[in-house]
A and B are shown apart, each in its own frame.
Chain A
Amino acid sequence: MAAKKPKLAVWKFASCDGCQLSILDCEDELLTVASAVDIAYFPEATRAATRGPYDLSLVEGSITTPHDAERIHQVRRQSRYLVTIGACATAGGIQALRNFRDVKRFLSIVYARPDYIETLSKSTPIAEHVFVDYELRGCPVNKYQLLEVISALLNQRKPVIPNHAVCVECKLRQHVCVMVARGTPCLGPATQAGCGALCPGYARGCYGCFGPKESANPPALSAGLVRLGVTEDGLVRAFRSFNAAADVFRRESELHERPNP
């Protein structure tokens, strides 16, 4: 193996920093990470910065301003691998709720001087702007999955990140299904695994943090949720959260939305 350690950079776009904090949350593993890679740029953790190019860039956040739409191209140019982390970077995040409304109206309501604000009408995932090597889902990402992706890239192998339903993790952990045993609405059957079925483990339904699973069938799930008493408005809210702009979730929320007055 080459003596030179791969250079890692962590970038932030429109986001809450939660995914970057998952890296710092790796506590026990952080030293191993630091010994395996050269953390060259990570403002959340250190002010020391090494110039690019970087072997691996982790990108958090979505594109919401003309400036960021430019900046992401600079990041791409400096990065051998670019991995997006979290619901903002992979689907537009909670801020993609703007995609369903007129942003100019928000500006006039929220800001005293809307003309100071330069923003795009939509919040979009990084992959809509540049080529992305790998997308890691979650709001926030799961730290073990993050370590797995870094390990896989460093060792030139495929990451073990299954794209099946949260239900599979639920059953692997032998949780009792909250939808069947309590009649609690759960997005698990339409949502990609990765959290370890966290909420069902605490008797809550899944909120869909990891976005749509492969071959997700939200209309069939909605039919089931309606039988449990979820209203049409409730369905809109359920599918319109952290991954509101992910295609399959977006279509489902739009199906149940009443025409705007």
Chain B
Amino acid sequence: MSSIDMCAPENTGRQPKLIERAGVGRLIAALQQQGYRVVGPTVRDEAIIYDELASDADLPAGWTDDQQAGAYRLKRRRDQALFRYTCGPHSWKKYLHPPQATLWRAEREGGLFRILPETPRAERLALLGVRACELRALAIQEQVFAMAAHADAGYGVRLRQAFVVAVNCGQAGGTCFCVSMNSGPRARKGFDLALTEVVHAKRHYFVVEIGSERGAAILAALETRDATAEEIAAAEKTVNDAARHMGRTLDTTEIQALLYRNHEHPRWEQTGERCLSCANCTLACPTCFCSTIDDTTDLAGQRAERTRRWDSCFTADFSYIHGGSVRQSVKARYRQWLTHKLASWIEQFGSSGCVGCGRCITWCPVGIDLTEEVRAIRATKYYREPVHGDTGTRSV
């Protein structure tokens, strides 16, 4: 299957609609009228981040970004496109799996403690501008949190209530590789509506695919018409262009065997020397789900509180068990991250933990690039023979 074929839309059986540029503002207003808090892309602090949108005036019209390993630059565009940028520093996990959350509080009562459970906020969110790779990341985190034996009820509720407006990518960033991970650039499922933006010199419009009844209902409240064959073709072309311009590639052939067998590859040591164990990669990654628990009390010892906070396999505390941290070296931490994302995740959850969004590459302060790491390990084929009793390492 060529990358272009992979961009073909899933047949939802519904006729794609067309909205003009002004329709985006109406879509936001319609969602707000339905009681949704609309969150999406906006320019802040030299980047395109996700935050609450009051109206379409908050969207990053005419902005884009340039991304390389360890570098992100906000840039002006020559047109007024709303969504011609690629994934930024934020991901939707900040809403669905918040960085910090109180799990419960307790109060001393007589000689005992009374536990006061926290009720998750029942806020209805509309996520505007969700990319294909991000839809895949939401599905992965749903599996981790909501479908596990010990489900996180809050996550499931937040995700189910969220109205998802996907946006098909019209350009790929310097660190994107969703095509390699088979997760983009076209949104295939998991959305209520999916927009494809077309910006021509004289016309600026959006082809809208409907993914759910809820999506159809919102769209019915707007001025739309059926998209013409030419408009649909123009939209297709932008997504195909994005697919052809991936900044990175990752060869996933037999990736589990490759990484497991190369557990003692010298590359880990070398990368461990470059890595800061700062955890930025894991915290920027839309699928990383790890957190830790903090238990605190007030001064008087009358109240206690348990909070959950994002953590990462790059911190020493993360693997702390009685007697010390399991992963003392930065090398071991980097190896854990890469191996979990690309290999053991498959055993654990049945899919890769990487959707190819490129955030870990861009937001690593020293530009360590996981696609480069895999390439280096593959190229040198240095591995432990999987033969019983053979523990030696050799180069082949």
Contacts and interface: CB of A to CB of B under 8 A. Distances in A.
Contact of A221 (B49, B276, B315): B276
A62 B89 CA distance: 40
A167 B312 CA distance: 11
Contact of B276 (A1, A32, A33, A190): A190
Contacts of B366: 189, 220-221, 223-224
B332 to A, nearest CB: 10
Contact of A155 (B49, B70, B280, B301): B301
B294 interface: yes
Contact of B309 (A29, A35, A172, A188): A172
Nearest to A186: B365
Given A33-B299, A189-B276, A189-B278, A171 B365 contact: no
Contacts of A33: 299
Contact of A151 (B73, B276, B296, B328): B296
Interface string B355-376: 0000000111111000000000
Interface string A166-193: 0110011111110111110010111000
A29 to B, nearest CB: 7
Given A174-B94, A224-B366, A168 B299 contact: no
A174 B49 CA distance: 9
The residue in A152, A173, A181 that gathers the most chain B C-beta atoms within 10 A of its C-beta is: A181
Interface string A130-174: 000000000000000001101110110100101111011001111
Contacts of A215: 277, 316, 328-330
Contact of A176 (B46, B283, B297): B46
B44 interface: yes
A241 B252 CA distance: 46
Interface string A34-56: 01100000000000000000000
B274 A223 contact: yes
A217 interface: yes
Contacts of A32: 298-300
Contact of A165 (B71, B278, B310, B328): B278
A36 B303 CA distance: 14
B296 A217 contact: no
Nearest to B294: A160
Given A171-B283, A220-B276, A182 B297 contact: no
B278 A172 contact: no
Contact of B365 (A35, A151, A154, A179): A179
A33 B367 CA distance: 46
A148 B294 CA distance: 12
A150 B299 contact: yes
B296 A177 contact: no
A8 B44 CA distance: 45
Interface in B238-281: 273-280
Contacts of A175: 45
Contact of A180 (B70, B277, B298, B299): B70
Interface in A1-58: 1, 29, 32-33, 35-36
B99 interface: yes
B276 A176 contact: no
A203 interface: yes
Interface residues of A, number: 48
A174 B166 CA distance: 22
A176 B44 contact: yes
A257 interface: no
Contact of B89 (A147, A181, A190): A181
Interface in B311-355: 311-312, 314-317, 328-330
A123 B363 CA distance: 38
Contacts of A171: 99, 279-280, 283-284, 310
B316 A214 contact: yes
Contact of B299 (A36, A173, A203, A216): A36
A168 B279 contact: yes
B317 A148 contact: no
Nearest to B70: A180
Interface string B280-296: 10011000000000111
Contacts of B314: 164
Contact of B317 (A157, A163, A216, A223): A163
B90 A181 contact: no
A239 B296 CA distance: 33
A154 B309 CA distance: 24
Contact of B295 (A150, A160, A176, A227): A160
B104 interface: no
B72 interface: yes
Interface in B75-94: 89-90, 94
Contacts of B329: 215
The residue in A33, A167, A174, A180 that gathers the most chain B C-beta atoms within 10 A of its C-beta is: A180
B218 interface: no
Nearest to B90: A174
A155 B301 CA distance: 6
Contacts of A224: 70, 276, 365-367
Contacts of A172: 99-100, 283, 309-310
B125 interface: no
Contacts of B367: 224
5 contacts: A163-B316, A168-B283, A176-B45, A215-B277, A224-B365
Q: Nearest 5 CB-CB pairs, A to B?
A: A171-B283, A189-B278, A189-B276, A167-B278, A176-B45
